[in-house]
Amino acid sequence: MDRDAAAARQEIALLLRRLNVELDAVGQRFAELHGLNRTDVRALVAIMDAARRGEALTAGRLGEAVDLRSASVTALVDRLEKVGHVRRVRDPEDRRRVGLELSDSAMAAGAEHFGGLARDLSAAMEDYTEEELALVRRWLEDMTGVIMRHSRGAP
Amino acid sequence: MDRDAAAARQEIALLLRRLNVELDAVGQRFAELHGLNRTDVRALVAIMDAARRGEALTAGRLGEAVDLRSASVTALVDRLEKVGHVRRVRDPEDRRRVGLELSDSAMAAGAEHFGGLARDLSAAMEDYTEEELALVRRWLEDMTGVIMRHSRGAP
DNA sequence: CGTTAATATCTCGACGATCGAGATTATCGA
DNA sequence: TCGATAATCTCGATCGTCGAGATATTAACG
């Protein structure tokens, strides 16, 4: 087996890790720009993702999304509510539940920051043919599958 | 311009984000398995990266790598030293400096966990031709460039 | 129904990670 | 030699997270 090919694959793996670092830094930058911490940003993203999917997150489900216990979720939502990024909305169906709604300003800030990145990524991909992108997509799915076996299940 | 193509590019961008989440989870898992926090893991990885490059990190440069102030670096190295993952080694050239050396056990644990992922990623890439991997590589470099413009410089 | 169990969130006290300011020790430059 | 600069450490304060327990609401079941 070619050593060159193996080295090339290792380089690609390193490149992927580098991309990972930079992608995390995008969230970090959003946090700094808006006086938030990493958890706050992850929470806002989770709420935005749910909103884009048409569902409003409850406090509990947000906790699952960002892996926090209920006490921390209460503190988290307190922080986000205090700066006006989210509203608590009691669910009339089940009055124990607390729904979370993003404010327009938070929605706009998120769209500006992360939507801008998505737009630029999409634009950069215009240089690729449909077949090339299909290959990239298959590769991404393959790598994600491998990574998930390490991030969740057995070694 | 085709709406299908634009949608396909957006899907790939989402796939990339998903991969990023799982890659973060790999570090998270390593942290849980070894009773560490995220910062500790990032520090160990930074020290391992430097070691693989042949240089020993000083406390100060580690702080730059993981973005911590000196007070926090002291506490961080205290933690890692207490569990036997690193040693402080005063630099004889400049006795103000504190070099950081990974213990064999920490090195082994890191190689096991992250090296195992690298190995599996490399193996999964054996299904791709040289030309295909060259394309993937170019794509990764392009995307990283775009992302870096968002993680560092102007919006 | 009415009582008990289960669920969702919140409160409280404690702990750990991070920081700024300042102290300490070592090197460098004039 | 001596003052300026640099690298690390110490100390006290702040913030995010958690476990345990409290509160309020719904579900289950005789």
Percent of chain B past pLDDT 70, that is, above it, reads: 98
Q: Which residues, including other chains, have CB under 8 Å from residue B51's CB and lie 6 or more apart?
A: B102, B107
pLDDT at residue B153, as a whole number: 73
CB A74 within 8 Å of CB A5: no
A111 — contact with chain B (CB < 8 Å)? no
Residues 68-97 on B with a CB inside 8 Å of A are none
How many angstroms separate the CA atoms of B137 and A18, rounded? 12
Q: Which two tokens stand for residue B154?
A: 């102007």
CB B135 within 8 Å of CB A9: no
pLDDT at residue B154, as a whole number: 58
Taking all residues of chain A, what is their mean pLDDT, rounded to a whole number? 96
Residue B54: pLDDT band (50, 70, 90) is very high
Note whether residue A94 is domain-resident: yes
Q: Is the pLDDT confidence value at A154 over 70?
A: no
One-letter amino acid of B97: R
Note whether residue A153 is domain-resident: no
User: Is strand C within 7 Å of residue B131 (CB)?
Assistant: no
Note whether residue B107 is domain-resident: yes
Note whether residue B13 is domain-resident: yes
Q: Please state the domain count of chain A.
A: 1
How many angstroms separate the CA atoms of A8 and A26, rounded? 27
Q: Which two tokens stand for residue A46?
A: 């989770």
How many angstroms separate the CA atoms of B42 and A27, rounded? 16
CB A76 within 8 Å of CB A43: yes
Give CA separation, B75 vs A96, A117, A150, B42, B46, in Å.
42, 36, 29, 14, 16
CB A144 within 8 Å of CB B18: yes
What are all long-range contacts of B25-28, with beta carbons under 8 Å and residues at least 24 apart? B25/A151, B25/A152, B26/A147, B26/A150, B26/A151, B26/B113, B26/B114, B26/B117, B28/A151
Alpha carbon distance, N-terminus to C-terminus of chain B? 25
Range of the domain at B35: 3-124
SS3 B151: helix
Length of chain B: 155
CB B12 within 8 Å of CB A133: yes
Q: In Å, how far is B98's CA from the nearest CA of chain A?
A: 26
User: Which chain B residues touch A111 with a CB distance below 8 Å?
Assistant: none
What is the per-residue pLDDT across A9-58, written as a single tens digit (0 to 9) for each? 999 999 999 999 999 999 999 999 999 999 999 999 999 999 999 999 99
SS (H, E, C) A33-91: HHCCCHHHHHHHHHHHHHHHCCCCCEHHHHHHHHCCCHHHHHHHHHHHHHCCCEEEEEC
Would you call B143 and A126 a contact, using CB atoms and an 8 Å cutoff? Answer: no
* Å from the A131 CA to the C22 C1': 62
The model's pTM: 0.94
Q: Which residue has the tokens 């190295």?
A: B77
* Å from the A139 CA to the C13 C1': 50
Q: Which residue has the tokens 């702080």?
A: B63
* Å from the B71 CA to the C24 C1': 14
What CATH number is associated with residue B81? Answer: 1.10.10.10
Complex ipTM: 0.93
What is the per-residue pLDDT across B55-111, written as a single tens digit (0 to 9) for each? 999 999 999 999 999 999 999 999 999 999 999 999 999 999 999 999 999 999 999
Note whether residue B129 is domain-resident: no
Q: Is the pLDDT confidence value at B144 over 90?
A: yes
| Phi then psi dihedrals of residue A153, to 5 deg | -55, -145
Note whether residue B148 is domain-resident: no
Note whether residue A88 is domain-resident: yes
